[in-house]
Structure 1
Amino acid sequence: MTTWQEFEKILTAISPVDKVLIDALVQLVSKRWNLKVSQKELAKRSGMSLAQVTSLELLETMPTLKILSQYADGLGMKLELTVVPA
């Protein structure tokens, strides 16, 4: 099985901004698994539909900050945006 870190090295068609959003999603999904929260439970907690959660985790749709924030909220977490020198 390929890890995210291995797969990440071969990505070339994803913009740096989209990569940041996907990285955040990967961290959130990992946290959901560690907390043993089902997709159905997360959907209920976050106010998202089960279809939205599933589609998001399969990357059928690109995550937005708003959606990632909802997802994080469903896990009792919050997103923090940091600005750093380029």
Structure 2
Amino acid sequence: MEKASLIPETSRSSLASGHEPNKDGSMAPPATNMEKMVYDCSVEASAQRSANTCTGQLSDPSTRPGLKENPNNIYDMSLSPEEAAEQVSER
């Protein structure tokens, strides 16, 4: 599987600098505390282990120290990764 962020760093940079619109069309304010994303293979491995044993429930936090889970489910397998990300971000 290709490793790619659903929000490319260039888009995050544009958002951080206040160059992206809100849903109402006005410009979003500049981010004041947005950190640069860094890819972490151990986080990927943890996410894959969780996905391999997914029960639809949040896992025990002690099995993923320092990490959180997104409890949203996508059942429409025809969605692109971008569409799926948009769908869960609207909830």
TM-score of the two chains, using structure 1 as the length reference: 0.29
Higher helix share: 1
- By relative contact order (CA 8 Å, sep 6+), the higher-ranking structure is 1
Larger radius of gyration: 2
